Structure 1
Amino acid sequence: MAARIDYYFVPISPWAYLGAPRFNAMVEKYGVDVQVMPVDFGRIFSVSGGLPLAKRPPQRQAYRLMELKRWREHLDMPLVLQPKGFPMDSGLASRLIIAARMVSQKDALDLAYALGRAVWAEERNIADAEILEEIVTECGQDPAKLFAAADSATTQAAFEADTEKAIAAQVFGAPTYVLDGELFWGQDRLDFLERALQRRA
């Protein structure tokens, strides 16, 4: 039986972007049944003690930038430390990812990574519907179909239900990967997640 991972994140997370290539490769390598779930971290922070970036103490904000620089160099990935327009509303982007997963989880993973790259490597505003349409098209997906699905009550309900699942699973930060009820928080825990998958194989 294939391993199942619930993948909780937000499209504008730099850590989700940095982890995406390794996580996506892991999903393919181990034949993981992944559930791609962008969620509302505003609600999650309200019950877990987390703070949005702008409300964190200055020393935490400074250290975050230092860590982003370290990981950018370690992974040799393009990343602008303070991209234009960040943070931006990622609600529509999240619903587009949910719409994509209705086609396939691979489509959802591909779109999620493309959206992260758009923010952190290309400084594109993923709150802008026209830019989102460009990104969906660049992924080889159907923008008319995805936008229609993203605007549906079904997709909004799925977004809210996934956020409730995250809260119930005790998720508190992005990205979080949940395997067999065990949480792996952060792209810097992907090595531990892979070891768990190897033990399961």
Structure 2
Amino acid sequence: MKHITFYLDFISPYAYLAFEKLPEALMGHSYSVSYKPILLAALLKHHGQLGPAEIAPKRDWTYRQVLWLARRQGVELQLPASHPFNPLALLRLAVACEAQGLPNRYVCETLFKHVWQGGFDATDAQRLQAVSQHLAPQRAPDSDAVKAQLKAHTDEAIARGVFGVPTFEVDGKLFWGLDALPMLQDYLAGDAWFATAWSAAAAVAPGVRR
């Protein structure tokens, strides 16, 4: 049985779509999944990148594409009232729901739907209080221990080479993005391509640096 670590941030619509489609994509394979919340903004800062929603034309395209993808894939999705937003409260709540900071699928599903269904404000104080009461976390989300655990998850992701969400890690290999699900599926199926092409792709020399 292969183990998949799913690095996610609830701010990402692609992470939400990947979360919804993962069971279907991996049907028939033997695997287990750990859901690991991380702060996407910290990854972007580390790698010197802007988020898609911070580049105006890309922001518009992102929202159009995810709405189309959701419609095509049969996933309910409505854009939140404002985006991007500060996801720390949601990430800390997820981490607080489990002793090791690894929320189960139900917790992640609840928080993804909090953001991506209904078209509401994801950071509204009353809504945050309601979802927190519903999930009944084991620890206080604003505790130093929970904050440190979320930072540790994020630092671990950076150290492993994660640069965006959703990212799936299996056997030290990183599969990034919603569109990587078929590739992940092939890897779990034992496709021989990965034995040579995976390393060969990383051996290409950079031609120009900016």
Could you say which TM-score interval applies, normalised by the shorter chain? 0.7 to 0.9
Report the counterpart of residue 5 of structure 1 in structure 2.
Answer: 4
Equivalent residue, structure 2, for 1:111: 107
Structure 1 distance, partners of 2:153, 2:33, is 14
Helix, strand or coil at the partner of 1:162? helix
Whether contact under 8 Å (2:36, 2:101) holds in the other structure is no
2:157 matched to 1:166? yes
Which amino acid counterpart does residue 128 of structure 1 have in structure 2?
A: D
Conservation of the 8 A alpha-carbon contact between 1:36 and 1:101? no
Q: Give me the whole-angstrom Cα distance separating, in 2, the residues matched to 1:196 and 1:127.
A: 37
Distance (Å, rounded) in 2 between the aligned partners of 1:132 and 1:187 = 27
Alignment correspondent of 1:62: 60
Aligned-residue Cα RMSD (Å) equals 2.7
Q: CA deviation at 1:8?
A: 1.1
Q: Give the drift of 1:129.
A: 4.4
Which residue of structure 2 aligns with residue 77 of structure 1?
A: 75
- Matching of residue 195 in structure 1 with residue 193 in structure 2: no
What is the alpha-carbon distance in structure 2 between the residues aligned to residue 24 and residue 133 of structure 1?
A: 30
Structure 1 unmatched ranges of 5 or more: none
> May I ask how many residue pairs the two structures share in their alignment?
191
1-structure distance, mates of 2:188, 2:72: 24
Mapped to 1, the partners of 2:49 and 2:22 lie a distance apart of: 24
SS in 2 for 1:199: coil
Look at both structures and tell me which one has the larger radius of gyration over its CA atoms.
2
Letter in 2 for 1:94: L
User: Partner amino acid for 2:116?
Assistant: W
- Distance (whole Å) between structure 2 residues aligned to residue 64 and residue 85 of structure 1: 14
Q: Contact 1:89–1:127 at 8 Å: present in 2 too?
A: yes
Tell me if structure 2 keeps the 8 A contact 1:8–1:166.
yes
Percent identical residues: 26
Unaligned runs of 5+ in 2: 192-210
More helix by share: 1
In 2, Cα distance between equivalents of 1:18 and 1:89:
20
Q: CA deviation at 1:84?
A: 0.4
Larger CA deviation: 156-165 vs 118-127: 118-127
